[in-house]
Amino acid sequence: MENLCRDLDKVRKISPLVHNITNYVVMNNTANALLAIGASPVMAHSVDEVADMASIASSLVLNIGTLEESWVDAMLIAAEAAHKAGIPVIFDPVGAGATPYRSETCRRMLEECRPSVIRGNASEIMALLNVSSRTKGVDSTASSDSAVASAKELASATGAVVVISGAVDYVTDGSRLESVTNGHPMMSKVTGMGCTATAVTGAFAAVNNDLCEASLHAMTVMGVAGEIAARNAKGPGSLQMEFLDALYCLDETLLRKHVRP
């Protein structure tokens, strides 16, 4: 708990610049969530500026939700700049396994971008290992529990921390395994919550070099904020507003009250 509160305080004091190359659906959601938690978001995807932007950022978030070839090129360029700058690269393999093009792009991201953290739902994580898995668009058709072995193997193979989102969130570096049970079912009715988790992971990875712990803190904050938001929300529409307010208002008292062991 002390380390979680420390990292949240660091995000708010430092306001790390989180460079996002993300999809059209979630740009507004993720930018507002980063602002609410205390980070500084930038959405830049032109091949003409991504290297310069990544070189001055504190972390880089790559999200393939709305794939387009020039955006893939931009991600590869930005990741190279990020590695040169020594900042973490957070990868969200949205819809991995849904189409051959999407799966091939994921393989390129793993090989060429060498992500520091990979966050996805169970189906996406399993698909990255060519495990027999079926996706329904970008929604998971498997439980997070069923992907734990795949996540550990993926982490060991890539050297990345792997995060599985679900009813229970899991974080692993191949040997360590942590879980987060906070959250609310209504969160799955709001588009982009997973993508928001990836962006928030970028904020925490910017202030904590232990990327397993940073990822655990990000998922915990997401879960707690979701629970608090759901108490005041009438449905998915108001949940979005309440969620941003919950992120903004999070403090040590609220975290100690809501975080489940």
Task: State the residue range of the domain holding 59.
Answer: 2-258
Q: 214-229 burial string, b = 16+ CB within 10 Å, else e?
A: bbbbbbbbbbbbbbbb
Q: Is the pLDDT of residue 133 over 80?
A: no
Question: Average pLDDT for residues 93-120, to the nearest whole number?
Answer: 93
Q: Is the pLDDT of residue 74 over 50?
A: yes
Three-state SS string over 17-38 comes to: EEEEECCCCCHHHHHHHHHHHC
Q: Is the pLDDT of residue 131 over 90?
A: no
At residue 143, the pLDDT reads 53
Q: How far apart are CA 152 and CA 47, in angstroms?
A: 33
Q: How far apart are CA 220 and CA 182, in angstroms?
A: 7
The token pair that represents 176 in the structure block? 């360590």
Question: Which domain CATH number covers 211?
Answer: 3.40.1190.20
Which pLDDT tens digit goes with each residue over 138-194? 444 455 677 899 999 999 999 999 999 999 999 999 999 999 999 999 999 999 999
Q: Name the residue with higher pLDDT: 103 or 10.
A: 10
Helices 193-205 and 2-14 cross at an angle (nearest 10°) of 90
How distant is the alpha carbon of residue 184 from its chain centre? 17
At residue 135, the pLDDT reads 45
Mean pLDDT of all residues in the chain?
93
**210 Cβ contact partners less than 8 Å away, ≥ 6 residues apart:** none
The token pair that represents 137 in the structure block? 């668009």
Q: 160-178 burial string, b = 16+ CB within 10 Å, else e?
A: bbbbbbbebbbbbbbeeeb
Q: Is the pLDDT of residue 196 over 80?
A: yes
Burial bucket for residue 135 (CB in 10 Å: 0-12, 13-18, 19+): buried
At residue 136, the pLDDT reads 44
Which pLDDT tens digit goes with each residue over 27-72? 999 999 999 999 999 999 999 999 999 999 999 999 999 999 999 9
**225 Cβ contact partners less than 8 Å away, ≥ 6 residues apart:** 243, 246, 247, 250
At residue 134, the pLDDT reads 42
At residue 142, the pLDDT reads 54
Question: Average pLDDT for residues 97-101, to the nearest whole number?
Answer: 90
Which stretches within 20-160 are classed as H helix? 27-37, 50-56, 69-85, 100-108, 122-128, 148-158
Q: What percent of the chain has pLDDT over 90?
A: 89
Residue type at 37 in one-letter notation: I
- The count of domains in the chain is 1
Question: Average pLDDT for residues 1-6, to the nearest whole number?
Answer: 96
